[in-house]
Chain A
Amino acid sequence: MSDSGAGIATSAAAWGLAPAVLLVAVVALLLAFGVAAVDRLVVSGAGSRAMWEPLRSGVRLMAEERRTTLAPDSLLWRLGCASVPVLALLSLAVVPLGGRTLLSTSADLVWFNAMESILWAAVWLVGWGPNAVHALTGGYRFLIQGLSYELPLMFSLITVGIGAQSLRATDVVAAQESLWFVLTMPVAFAVFLATAAAFAFWGPFASPAGVDVAGGVRSELSGVERLLVELGRAAFLGAAAAMATAAFLGGDAGPWLPGPVWQLVKTVGVVVLFVLIGRRLPVVRPERFVEVAWMVLIPLTLLQALVVAVLSLSGFYA
Chain B
Amino acid sequence: MDHGGSDGGGMDHAAMGHGGMDHGGMGHGGSDGGGMDHAAMGHAGMSHGDSEDGGSDDGGIDHAAMDHSGMDHSGMDHSGMDHSGMDHSGMDHGGMDHGDSDDGGMDHGGSDDRGMDHAATGHVGMDHGDDSDDGAMDQVGMDHAAMGHAGMSHGDSEDGGSDDGEIDHAAMDHSGMDHGGSDDGGMDHGGSEHGGMDHAAMGHGGHGGMDHSGHGGMDVAGLPMAETATDRDGLQLDELKVSLGPVLPGWPTGLLLRGRLQGDVLTGVGLSWLDQEGASADALDAGDSRPAALDRLARFLDVAGWPLAAHEARQARAGLMSHDPDVVAQADRLAVRVARRVRRSRTLAWSARGTGVMTTEGSGPLEGDVLDRVRRWCDTAAGEQHAPEPLPELRLDTVATLLEGAEIGAARLTLASLPLSRQTALEHSEAAGV
Task: Assess whether A213 is in contact with B408, with CB atoms less than 8 Å apart.
Answer: yes
Q: Is the CB of A285 within 8 A of B308?
A: no
Contact B407 A287 (CB under 8 A): yes
Q: Please tell me if the beta carbons of B305 and A206 are within 8 angstroms of each other in the complex.
A: yes
Q: How far is the CA of A136 from the CA of B311 in the complex (A)?
A: 28
| Residue B410 is within 8 A (CB to CB) of chain A in the complex | yes
Number of interface residues of B (CB under 8 A): 36
Cα–Cα, bound, A250→B164 (Å): 80
**Partner of A282 from B263, B304, B407 at Cβ < 8 Å:** B304
Name the residue on A nearest B220 (C-beta): A71
A285 touches B410 (CB 8 A): yes
Whether A140 and B302, one on each chain, are in contact in the complex, defined by CB atoms closer than 8 angstroms, is no
B263 & A140 in contact (Cβ 8 Å cutoff): yes
CA distance A91 to B408 in the complex (A): 33
Check B264 against A137 for contact (C-beta < 8 Å).
yes
A22: Cβ under 8 A from any B Cβ? no
Q: Are B204 and A211 in contact (CB under 8 A)?
A: no
Contact pattern, B 319-334, Cβ under 8 Å of A = 1, otherwise 0: 0000000000000000
Residue-wise interface mask of A (264-289) relative to B, using a CB-CB cutoff of 8 A (1 in contact, 0 not): 00000000000000011111111110
CB-CB contacts of B260-300 with A at 8 A, as 1s and 0s? 01011000000000000000000000000000000000000
Q: B126 contacts the other chain (Cβ, under 8 Å)?
A: no
Q: Is the CB of A283 within 8 A of B261?
A: no
Minimum CB–CB distance from A317 to chain B (whole Å) comes to: 35
Shortest CB–CB separation between residue B43 and chain A, in angstroms?
A: 20
CB distance from A201 to the nearest CB of B (A): 11
Q: A137-B408, A285-B410 are in contact. Are A211 and B261 (CB under 8 A)?
A: no
> A203: nearest residue on chain B (CB-CB)?
B305
> In the complex the two chains form, is A71's CB within 8 Å of B221's CB?
yes
In the complex, are the beta carbons of A204 and B410 less than 8 A apart?
no
Closest chain-A Cβ to B234's Cβ sits at a distance in Å of 18
A255 to chain B, nearest CB (A): 36
In residues 241-264 of chain B, which contact A (Cβ within 8 Å)? 242, 244, 248-250, 261, 263-264
- Cβ-closest chain A residue relative to B305: A283
Interface size, chain A (Cβ < 8 Å): 30
Evaluate whether A283 and B351 lie within 8 angstroms (CB atoms) in the complex, with A133-B240, A133-B242, A212-B413 already known.
yes
CB-CB < 8 A to B305: which residues of A?
204, 206-207, 210-212, 282-283
User: A133 — which chain B residues lie within 8 A by C-beta?
Assistant: 240, 242, 244, 261
A291 CA to B221 CA, complexed, in Å: 40
Name the residue of chain A whose CB is nearest to the CB of B249. A211
With an 8 A cutoff between CB atoms, is B155 at the interface?
Answer: no
| A222-234 Cβ-contact flags toward B at 8 Å (1 or 0) | 0000000000000
Q: Is B339 an interface residue (CB 8 A)?
A: no
Of A141, A283, A286, most buried by chain B (CB within 10 Å of CB) is A283
Which chain B residues numbered 200 to 244 have a C-beta less than 8 Å away from chain A?
204, 220-223, 240, 242, 244
The 3 closest A-B pairs by CB, nearest first: A283-B305, A71-B221, A282-B306
* Pairs A–B under 8 Å by Cβ, sample size 24: A42-B308, A45-B311, A70-B221, A71-B223, A133-B242, A137-B264, A140-B263, A140-B264, A204-B305, A211-B307, A212-B304, A212-B408, A214-B248, A214-B249, A279-B308, A281-B347, A282-B301, A282-B306, A282-B309, A282-B351, A283-B304, A283-B305, A284-B351, A285-B351
A contacts, CB < 8 Å to B: 42-43, 45, 70-71, 131, 133, 136-137, 140-141, 204, 206-207, 210-214, 279-288, 292
